[in-house]
């Protein structure tokens, strides 16, 4: 019997077309709660950009691609990027003219790419942001994740210069940058399962991007959205309809969960 469902946000809970949560998905979440099944978000977003989901009764949030896990205000787990790494990466990005964003409980950026179409499009498509985030003047002590704005070829110089870091692409022009290989959505899910004392066999995960692959392979039932990454869909246990076509609700009814 499935006891817990983990959802990615953008392109999964949120429609890939208009970046809003379809009514059918809201109904599905309500039904899961009524059935006593826990609902958890697992996203690359910073914690502060998940407030709409809290309003849906989702209390446990995995944010910053697994670097921060909270249940209400209780911190279950956090992994902080060192000041040394943050400074070195920031300097390298500035030298090569690349935008980077810093995920604390909120989001800020380095001020590069304010007018660049690729950066603005990526912010809208991955975080639903219309306005460029505030420029960070002083690095905060607790940075959970850094996002690099670069395509595949541009990112090579970063990957080569920082072999100790983990670069996880989740958009054509954005990569999560994490300091340790034990930070991932799947590792965060393991911590949530331990917290609630739920066996992994009784867990489900929905996702659409490359940074969802590890969690779909880890859980008992991994479901890829129809609008998802092709590699993800090949690896998933089940491919549902697109997020915009009621994919979440469809899959949960197909498996008799709701």
**Degrees to nearest 5, angle at CA 130 with 81 and 12:** 70
Domain locations in the chain as residue ranges: 4-77+185-254, 83-178
Residue 73 has pLDDT above 80, yes or no: yes
Rounded mean pLDDT of 142-157? Answer: 95
Q: In terms of Cα–Cα distance, which of 145, 170, 254 is closest to 204?
A: 254
- pLDDT at residue 178, as a whole number: 84
For the record, the structure tokens of 248 come out as 């979440």
CATH of domain 83-178: 3.30.1240.10
- pLDDT at residue 63, as a whole number: 93
Residue 235 burial (10 A CB sphere; 0-12, 13-18, 19+): middle
Alpha-carbon distances, residue 50 vs 64, 79, 152 (angstroms):
11, 19, 28
- pLDDT at residue 115, as a whole number: 82
Would 4-77+185-254 and 83-178 be classified into the same CATH topology?
no
Residue 6 has pLDDT above 90, yes or no: yes
- pLDDT at residue 143, as a whole number: 94
Residue 210 has pLDDT above 80, yes or no: yes
- CATH homologous superfamily for 4-77+185-254? HAD superfamily/HAD-like (3.40.50.1000)
What whole-number percentage of the chain has pLDDT above 70?
Answer: 100
pLDDT 10s digits, 172-199 = 999 989 887 779 999 999 999 999 999 9
Strands 174-178 and 145-149: antiparallel
- pLDDT-derived band at 248 (thresholds 50, 70, 90) equals very high
Rounded mean pLDDT of 35-54? Answer: 92
- pLDDT at residue 74, as a whole number: 96
Rounded mean pLDDT of 32-45? Answer: 96
- pLDDT at residue 180, as a whole number: 75
Q: Encode 150-175: b = buried (16+ Cβ within 10 Å), e = exposed.
A: beeeebeebbeebeebbebbbbebbb
pLDDT 10s digits, 83-131 = 999 999 999 999 999 999 999 888 999 999 888 899 999 998 888 888 8
**pTM, two decimal places:** 0.90
Alpha-carbon distances, residue 44 vs 57, 99, 254 (angstroms):
20, 17, 27
Q: Encode 100-133: b = buried (16+ Cβ within 10 Å), e = exposed.
A: bbbbbeebbbbebbeebeebbebbebbbeeeebb
- pLDDT at residue 199, as a whole number: 99
Compute the distance between CA of residue 33 and CA of residue 29 in angstroms, rounded to an integer. Answer: 6
């Amino acid at each position: 019997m499935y006891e817990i469902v983990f959802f990615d946000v953008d392109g999964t809970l949120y429609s890939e077309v208009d970046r809003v949560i379809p009514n059918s998905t809201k109904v599905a979440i309500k039904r899961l709660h009524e059935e006593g099944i826990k609902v958890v978000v697992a996203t690359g977003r910073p914690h502060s950009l998940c407030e709409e989901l809290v309003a849906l009764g989702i209390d446990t949030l995995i944010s910053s691609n697994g670097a921060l896990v909270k249940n209400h205000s209780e911190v279950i787990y956090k992994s902080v990027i060192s000041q040394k790494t943050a400074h070195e990466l920031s300097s390298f990005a500035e030298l090569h003219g690349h935008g980077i964003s810093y995920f604390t409980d909120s989001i800020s950026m380095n001020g590069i790419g304010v007018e660049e179409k690729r950066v603005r499009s990526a912010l809208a498509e991955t975080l639903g942001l219309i306005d460029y985030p505030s420029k960070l003047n002083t690095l905060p002590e607790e940075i959970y994740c850094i996002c690099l704005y670069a395509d595949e070829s541009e990112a090579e110089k970063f990957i080569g210069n920082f072999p100790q870091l983990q670069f996880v692409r989740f958009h054509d022009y954005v990569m999560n940058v994490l300091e340790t290989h034990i930070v991932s959505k799947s590792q965060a899910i393991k911590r949530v399962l331990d917290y609630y004392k739920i066996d992994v066999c009784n867990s489900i995960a929905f996702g659409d991007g490359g940074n969802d692959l590890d969690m779909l392979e880890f859980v008992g039932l991994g479901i890829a959205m129809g609008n998802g990454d092709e590699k993800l869909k090949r690896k998933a246990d089940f491919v549902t309809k697109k997020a915009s076509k009621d994919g979440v609700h469809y899959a949960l009814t197909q498996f008799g969960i709701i």
